[in-house]
Amino acid sequence: MDIYTRYKSLRQRTEDICRPLAIEDYVVQPIVDVSPPKWHLGHTTWFFETFILTPHVQGYQPFNPDYNYVFNSYYETIGNRVIRTDRGNLSRPTVDDIYRYRQHVDEAILKILSAPLEPEVSNLIVLGIHHEEQHQELLYTDIKYILGHNPLFPAYDVTYQPPTLKSTSTNDFIRIKEGLYEIGFKGDGFCFDNELGRHKAYLNEFEISNRLVSNAEYLEFINDGGYSDFRHWHAEGWDWVRNEKITAPLYWHFIDNSWYHYTFRGLEPIDLEASVRHVSYFEAYAYAAWKGLRLPTEFEWEVAAPSFTWGENWEWTESAYLPYPGFKKAPGAIGEYNGKFMVNQKVLRGASVVTSPGHSRLTYRNFFQTNLRWQFTGIRLAK
């Protein structure tokens, strides 16, 4: 697909994700990690305006110079911004204003995409496309949180069906031989800076499950008192369980002696065969410890992944989010994209059913703090 068509369909898909929303759903921010849908719509547009149109297109007039303050996420280089917790307090710009902002920026980008481009500019547009794809997944996860924490449990779309993956029902462990393996991105296509540089890692022989832990299996952990036995948990994880009164994965509700969970279709009985989802790293670790097993490292995952089906849930790994040997931050504001987050987070590998089509890679490194679970996160065991 050429970049013109790709840009157009990307921008359309973002708006399609928001189509089932009521106007009020665009505005709220129930927790700091969840951004209002209208903020995602504006911020992804701001990215193209700030990094491509303003610096590289002569005579470009910003739609509204004040938007830089509202839609800058975390780029210190670009200046002051609304603090993250206040994103849900903005009744203006309105949703209509933001859709007009999108149109203004789209017209300008499509105009430059109709002529030959400097490689620097086309690389930035490709980065902007991958950035907006990341926000498409965040739109799904944030919309789920907003609707799933409304006491009426409104459906996002009663006909919603996730993409189906060919998965296996038998639980087998795949054995990988010890040896020296190459880790990190190789090739000519796009990757984020955190997937570089490619380097060698020595792995001891290990075994990894060919499928994710199911709801039925996780329920055994719950029923065995997993959440009330400190022995399975890290000290921090145990504090989290007690302080937050955690007794089950996010979106699970115990009603009339049965477990239900909130899905995009509304509240439904737990599907026992489906993989467990919306667990934190703390829970993934505790479950593995209760089983007498462990989580894979991100290096083990990358080496073994061609042998199993992945892409249903982001998979917690035992690896801290750290720079690879030879990792370099890009100069300027774009250098703030990944590098400054390489502290106190764990790597997740794979992709989820709400990851944008074509966005995932074997070498992709996602990362979140150990207590977070509003993303589509799951568990794969290793030993």
- At its nearest, how many Å lie between Fe ion and the CB of residue 207? 37
Nearer to Fe ion by C-beta: 45 or 73? 73
Residue keyed to tokens 């299996």: 217
Q: What is the rounded CA–CA span in Å between residue 301 and residue 288?
A: 16
For helices 37-48 and 3-18, what crossing angle results, to 10°?
160
For helices 95-113 and 3-18, what crossing angle results, to 10°?
170
Nearer to Fe ion by C-beta: 73 or 352? 73
- At its nearest, how many Å lie between Fe ion and the CB of residue 271? 32
- At its nearest, how many Å lie between Fe ion and the CB of residue 194? 15
- At its nearest, how many Å lie between Fe ion and the CB of residue 40? 8
Structure token digits, residue 271: 């599907």
User: Which of 140, 106, 110 lies closest to 21, judged by CA?
Assistant: 140
Helix (H, G, I), strand (E, B) or coil at 54: helix
| 206: exposed, middle or buried (Cβ count in 10 Å: 0-12, 13-18, 19+) | buried
Nearer to Fe ion by C-beta: 225 or 332? 332
Residues in the chain, total = 383
Distant-in-sequence contacts of 354-357, Cβ < 8 A, 24+ apart: 354/137, 354/140, 354/141, 354/162, 355/137, 355/311, 356/13, 356/133, 356/134, 356/136, 356/137
Q: Which residue is nearest to Fe ion (CB)?
A: 73
Nearer to Fe ion by C-beta: 135 or 277? 135
- At its nearest, how many Å lie between Fe ion and the CB of residue 323? 20
Nearer to Fe ion by C-beta: 40 or 380? 40
Nearer to Fe ion by C-beta: 46 or 308? 46
266: Cβ–Cβ under 8 A, 6 or more apart, which residues?
153, 154, 155, 158
Q: What is the rounded CA–CA span in Å between residue 77 and residue 267?
A: 43
Residues interacting with Fe ion, by CB under 5 A? Answer: 73
23: Cβ–Cβ under 8 A, 6 or more apart, which residues?
95
- At its nearest, how many Å lie between Fe ion and the CB of residue 199? 27
Nearer to Fe ion by C-beta: 44 or 313? 44
- At its nearest, how many Å lie between Fe ion and the CB of residue 262? 26
- At its nearest, how many Å lie between Fe ion and the CB of residue 73? 5
Nearer to Fe ion by C-beta: 14 or 73? 73
Cα→Cα distances 102→8, 15, 45, 382, Å: 11, 10, 6, 45
